[in-house]
Amino acid sequence: MPLEFKHHRLPNGLDILAEINRDSHSFAAGFFVKTGSRDETEQIHGVSHFLEHMMFKGSEKYTWQDVNRMFDEIGARYNAFTSQEMTCYYANVLPEYTDRVLDHLAHLLRPAIRQADFDTEKNVILEEIAMYLDDPGHRLYEALMQTHFDDHPLARSVLGSPESIRGLTRSQMAEYFSRRYGPGNMVLAVAGQMDFGEVVDLVGRYCGDWPAVDARRDAVAPRLEARRRTLPDSRLNRQYTMGMTPAPSAQDERRFAARVLADVIGDSDGSRFYWALVDKAIAEDADFGFYPHDGCGSFYLALTCAPQNAKQALNIALAELQRVKDDLAEDEVERARNKIASSIVLSGELPLGRMRAIGSQWIYCGEYRSLEQDMESLQSVSADSLRDLMREFPFEPMTIVSMGPESLSL
Amino acid sequence: MSDPFFQSTFANGLVLAAERIPGMHSAAMTLLVPAGSSGDPETIAGSATVLADLILRGAGSRDNRSLTEHLDSLGLQRSSSAGVYHLRLSAAAPAENVMAGLEAFADVVRRPRLPADGFEAARELTRQSLAGIEDEPRQKLSVALREVYFPWPLGRNPLGTFQTLDAMTLQAVREDHRRRFVPRGAIFAFAGKLDFDRLHDRIGALFGDWPDSSPPELKPVPSQRKWLFIPQKSEQTHIGLAWPTVDETHEDSYVARLACDILGGGMSSRLFSEVRERRALCYAVSVGYASLKGLGCFMGYAGSSNDRAQATLDCILEETRRLANGVTADELQRAKVGLKANTIMSGESTSARASAVAHDVFLRGRIRSIDEIKQSIDAVTLDRINAFVASASSIRPTVVVLGPRELRYPDFPG
């Protein structure tokens, strides 16, 4: 499965990245825009995600009915997502629809933002916010980000609040769009079966007249301390606890070591948390993971258990984080590496997986990395590199948030 | 090109089925053992879920920890769960690692240690999952809809109840394992980079002497209930619907699937356009086709603010009735293109293909190629689908509502 990388920059500055796989049966394309809730102000909180919805409401030429129909006509698997730092619009189609899918995506990225659609879609956003309120894991995650990052823009929820969404105006959204959505702040990533020359011609035709933008991101470092917060909720049956502590950023070379370390500590099978907590049924879920952000990063822990076990589970998890610094063994590092290597091979076989990987890599680091390079970086991680990492990121300070029937003393 | 499919039945009844996919480095396996949750003994319902955990806590010469470490060292991405008819074990990794893991999986299925302390932990984790459902209204709704709609015990919650979990003993679970972990009715499916001869020899060596025995037969009892309201202090009202239709082996199964997609599949579907896009009554609304053996159905879901939930339910029922007036040629064309594209693109994942191969062999006794599926889709004409929706749309669905206030269901007042 030889994957071939190509890059072309249009005169207006739009970067086109391609990873060609001649064995593939499909073509995936995605626009990655370097914008998200951390680029908002209080006044326009939630605009990034709301705008993502409005992109599907049509350009000057098309209505929302047209957009939905056109993507379905080519059998596209398509969607969009918004995070704190990135908004992505993507589609996966059979190669015969390369032209049409690029045309449709290009129209998506030039929205009309009609007032009537804006007013209707506001209600869908409010429903989405309500939906997530019925999901304790999501509620706790938002509370964790808010508590951990405090006055830093990463603290802001992606969805916004019902109040901020109700207060948003069409002109605020249009202004945000014109500042953030243009070459210079976005990239088009494509992967799978394709003729790259054809892709470049088509994108030039569809996107060549887009004006570049000079978008910046406030790169101020977060002020972190060991914050604690309990969110009593008598409606819940289980106790949900999360913690967050600094880790390498998305640009940091040590991010591969961070991923391996997170798996050693808290993968769903065979990790330290698994043996200490899940195997013994003290907690039903005990994860430790790595979230790289732009310019900073986080490790997080997440525990779900019976309320009466919550304190014990948290203490065991925190003790494991200390113990691993002293008795980390080479064989557990090797197992974690092998598991990650498998997931790299499996996702490399899917155009959608590679499109996402190269697009976000470019947004964060401005460079392409091949599967082989990722594999090499992964294989070079040893127990020593994890020990070095833990000296620099010693799981302190740690923010801890707990939600459930128990008012946990943290 | 040589035949991409391979299928063989061993003397003890175990079926091996495989698909070779060019260009892949990985392989995936799905092993179905006839020990699904619907076959759980009534008094210890939940035993298949407990076994799905317990069989991995040590097997053959390896104890709990060394078994997990062995599978991890091969980098196997794996899962183990209780389905309706089968207990399912799956794994994916670079092909040679999947082959290297087979010997351990043979131990897991045939020679699990089923230790006492592991049993207590597996049962406790199942209890915890059961308690966790209460915190997730959408999941709670889905469990309730399956229980109300499907013939008993096919729709029974695979986690069992607190009562059956309390009644469960290690001895009963060991006995259940002995009775239902048998080769007749078991299917071992693979997809990806494969050498069929080598695979056949290896499976023969590891499973060929598994003593032949059949699992107990099921006698499901149809459900009579059409309406259920579950009071819950939730932010949204959650609505689940289920309509009976033809099963997957029926000649009209692709007619049904396409009708389902037109009603509530993609973003240009009737329900998405009307309920979400035009009226903004909810964020999530969809209908999907699901099939058990001999039983097809459409299953729908919508979540809506409590004050708009009635309008959402009314709108869904109205759109469903309206489908009887017929679909357009454009709608049919879109649904066909979508279903074909989805079939082809799913073929790019070895895990998805291994799972599809196992499913085909279970329901049809053979593997269908992607071309054959495309032909079945192409064979659906506008006349056929319109005749289908004219009769299907008059069927009243089973409805389950979960939320703070009961809704009105005109035909079946609560």
Is any Cβ of chain B less than 8 angstroms from the Cβ of A308? no
What pLDDT, in 10s, does the model give residues A32-60? 999 999 999 999 999 999 999 999 999 99
Which of B137, B138, B338 lies closest to A75 in CB terms? B338
Element housing B190 (H / E): strand B187-192
CB of B35 within 8 A of CB of B211? no
* pTM as predicted: 0.95
- Using a CB-CB cut-off of 8 Å, the residues of chain A touching B67 are none
The whole-angstrom separation of Cα B129 and Cα A285 is 10
Q: Do B268 and A343 touch (CB under 8 A)?
A: no
- Name the A residues in 242-281 with CB < 8 Å from any B CB: 269-270, 274-275, 278-281
Structure tokens that stand for A98 in this block: 């390369």
- Using a CB-CB cut-off of 8 Å, the residues of chain A touching B75 are 338-342
Element housing B132 (H / E): helix B116-133
Q: Do B74 and A279 touch (CB under 8 A)?
A: no
Q: Do A72 and B334 touch (CB under 8 A)?
A: yes
B223-228: Cβ within 8 A, 24+ apart: B223/B148, B223/B149, B223/B150, B223/B151, B223/B152, B223/B155, B223/B398, B225/B148, B225/B398, B226/B396, B226/B398, B226/B399, B226/B412, B227/B398, B227/B399, B227/B400, B227/B409, B227/B412, B227/B414, B228/B144, B228/B148, B228/B399, B228/B400, B228/B401
- Closest chain B residue to A275, measured at CA: B65
CB of A244 within 8 A of CB of A144? yes
For residue A126, the distance in angstroms to the closest alpha carbon of chain B comes to 8
CB of A154 within 8 A of CB of A38? yes
DSSP structural state of residue B221 = B
Structure tokens that stand for A244 in this block: 């967050």
- Name the A residues in 338-367 with CB < 8 Å from any B CB: 338-343, 345-346, 349-351
- Closest chain B residue to A341, measured at CA: B75
Beta strands (DSSP E) in B34-116 are: 77-82, 87-94
CA A198 to chain CA mean position, Å: 30
Q: Do A269 and B78 touch (CB under 8 A)?
A: yes
Residue A408 confidence (pLDDT): 87
pLDDT in tens, chain B (414 residues): 578 999 999 999 999 999 999 989 999 999 999 999 999 999 999 999 999 999 999 999 999 999 999 999 999 999 999 999 999 999 999 999 999 999 999 999 999 999 999 999 999 999 999 999 999 999 999 999 999 999 999 999 999 999 999 999 999 999 999 999 999 999 999 999 999 999 999 999 999 999 998 888 888 998 888 899 999 999 999 999 999 999 999 999 999 999 999 999 989 999 999 999 999 999 999 999 998 999 999 999 999 999 999 999 999 999 999 999 999 999 999 999 999 999 999 989 999 999 999 999 999 999 999 999 999 999 999 999 999 999 887 788 999 999 999 999 876 433
Residues B228, B234, B236, B240: is their CA dihedral positive or negative?
negative
- Using a CB-CB cut-off of 8 Å, the residues of chain A touching B92 are 342, 346
**Helices A383-392 and A330-348: angle between axes, nearest 10 degrees:** 90
Q: DSSP secondary structure string, A157-195?
A: -SS--HHHHHH--HHHHHHHHHHHSSTTSEEEEEEES--
Q: DSSP secondary structure string, B135-154?
A: T-HHHHHHHHHHHHHSPBTT
Residue B411 confidence (pLDDT): 63
CA A337 to chain CA mean position, Å: 22
Is any Cβ of chain B less than 8 angstroms from the Cβ of A43? no
For residue A155, the distance in angstroms to the closest alpha carbon of chain B comes to 23
> Minimal CA–CA distance to B83: which of B400, B362, B364?
B362
Residue A409 confidence (pLDDT): 86
pLDDT at A15 over 50: yes
Which pLDDT band, with edges at 50, 70 and 90, does A237 fall under?
A: very high
Element housing A5 (H / E): strand A3-9
Mean pLDDT of chain A: 96
pLDDT at A297 over 50: yes
| A–B CB contacts, 8 A cutoff, strictly below | 193
CB of A15 within 8 A of CB of A187? yes
β partners of residue A388: none
In order of A68, A222, B30, B373, the CA distances from B3 in angstroms are 39, 59, 21, 17
> Minimal CA–CA distance to B193: which of B95, B78, B93?
B95
> Minimal CA–CA distance to A87: which of A185, A20, A155, A168?
A185
β partners of residue A303: A241, A286
In order of A257, B57, B80, the CA distances from B33 in angstroms are 39, 18, 11
Structure tokens that stand for B66 in this block: 């060394």
Q: Do A134 and B238 touch (CB under 8 A)?
A: yes
Burial grade of B283 (CB within 10 A; 0-12, 13-18, 19 or more): buried
CB of B253 within 8 A of CB of A98? no
What pLDDT, in 10s, does the model give residues A112-123? 999 999 999 999
